[in-house]
Amino acid sequence: MTNIIFWAAAGTIALVVAFILVRALRRADNNEAADFDQQVYRDQLAEIERDQARGVIVADEAKRLRSEVARRLLAADRAESPTDAAKSGPTSVLVWGVIAVVLATGFAGYGYLGQLGYGDLPLKARIAVAEEHRTSRPDQAALEAALPPRPMLEAIDPAFLTLVEKLRAAVENRPDDLQGQQLLARNEANVGNLTAAYKAQEKVIAIKGKDASDADILMQATLMVQAADGQVSPQAEALLNSVLDRDANNDTALFFTGIVNMQVGRYDLAFRYWKHLMDVAPKDSPWMPEVRSRIEALAEVAGVRYELPDAPAMPGLKGPNAADVAAAQDMSPEDRQAMIRNMVEGLNDRLASDGGSAEEWARLIVALSNLGEKDRAIAIYAEAQKKFEGRTVELSGLKEAAVQAGITP
């Protein structure tokens, strides 16, 4: 409704101004010509009077000439009237054309650069407001305190919960046990206790000291964001910045740094981080689908003209096609099993040489378990955990696959 009122008001004002301009220009044009004609006719009348006084022309001829000139003078007077001034002519057509171009350019320019629904706020002032919001936003503890109580995850094996309780007790007695803190951070996240998970991960980083990797830091930052229900606290932002200082192309840090800039209103910076992510991130980056789905809207808010490029080709999850299924119906159980094994081995070889998404690793884990090779499935699961270390979303999917494969404690 606001947009309709705005465009209606702008259009009405533009038309009124255009009418006034055309009327004034036409009147000025007509009046200039009419004034010149009137002066000529007055001069002619004066000349007739002088000729009659000198005896150059007789009285009857002077009378006739005066009548003719007076008739022309009256015609020139009528040329100044509003009726004649409103008549169309070459000048008015040109004027209307120029005004139409100006109006079209103005409306098109506003549609290209303007933002309906926003007050007049200079860019410098907007940036100042956003940066003030950045510095005054709540810290991690305040963000978590403002959330409703988080329910425990469903369908958790009671035996697993018992093991987590024992792990908590063991780590409490040995706070400097690196392996214990790592296990605690991972398993607290698995049961949905995210605050305890990132606090355990914080101890992991403290124990490692200078040996703490970017994956360790990103795991803590990601857990903090999840614990704050998607909000990026100043503490989490500092961790992300520390990673970007060492690796400006880290996709996880770029993604969440874009999020925090959106949350504080710096859409221009958020677009830069996400655009850079799209340029440098691997094609199987877990953040790529969300970035691709939102970056055009982000660019529009940021005032950037941006066209989303075509999605990069992704290696598919290869499986049996229709011909394979038809052929398998006529196979013996042994041949059918061999065909399945060949597909699994092909997936295994591709992941080992080219890498792949967490979904592909999860599929391989389940497939190996179904083939009765649980030892290999356990080894692949361990390898996948290292590969996706610090990426809780992918680790959660791998955990589900491990549970389905029956290879978790």
Q: What pLDDT is stored for residue 3 in this prediction?
A: 57
Q: Where are the alpha helices (DSSP H) in 137-231?
A: 140-145, 158-173, 178-190, 194-208, 214-227
Give residue for tokens 């949905």.
Answer: 192
For the chain, the residue count is 409
- Contacts from 294-301 at CB under 8 Å and sequence distance 24+? 295/271, 298/262, 298/267, 298/270, 298/271, 298/274, 299/271, 301/267
Q: What pLDDT is stored for residue 220 in this prediction?
A: 93
How far apart, in Å, are the Cα atoms of 43 and each of 30, 38, 78, 191? Answer: 20, 9, 19, 106
Low-confidence ranges of the chain (pLDDT < 50): 83-88, 314, 316-317, 319-322, 325
Q: What pLDDT is stored for residue 240 in this prediction?
A: 95
DSSP one-letter string for 281-311: S-TT-TTHHHHHHHHHHHHHHHT----PPPP
In the chain, the N- to C-terminal Cα span, in Å, equals 59
Q: Where are the alpha helices (DSSP H) in 55-177?
A: 59-78, 82-85, 90-113, 123-136, 140-145, 158-173
Residue among 96, 89, 83 nearest 22 (CA): 96
Q: What pLDDT is stored for residue 274 in this prediction?
A: 95
Tell me the C-alpha distance between 92 and 99, whole Å.
10
What tens digit of pLDDT does each residue of 325-348 get? 455 555 666 666 677 777 888 888
| Other CB atoms within 10 Å distance of the CB of residue 217 | 23
Residues 6 or more apart in contact with residue 9 via CB below 8 angstroms: none
What tens digit of pLDDT does each residue of 295-326 get? 999 999 888 888 888 766 545 445 444 455 45
Tell me the C-alpha distance between 154 and 358, whole Å.
23
Tell me the C-alpha distance between 350 and 348, whole Å.
6
pTM of full prediction above 0.85: no
How far apart, in Å, are the Cα atoms of 110 and each of 114, 122, 204, 303? Answer: 5, 16, 54, 12
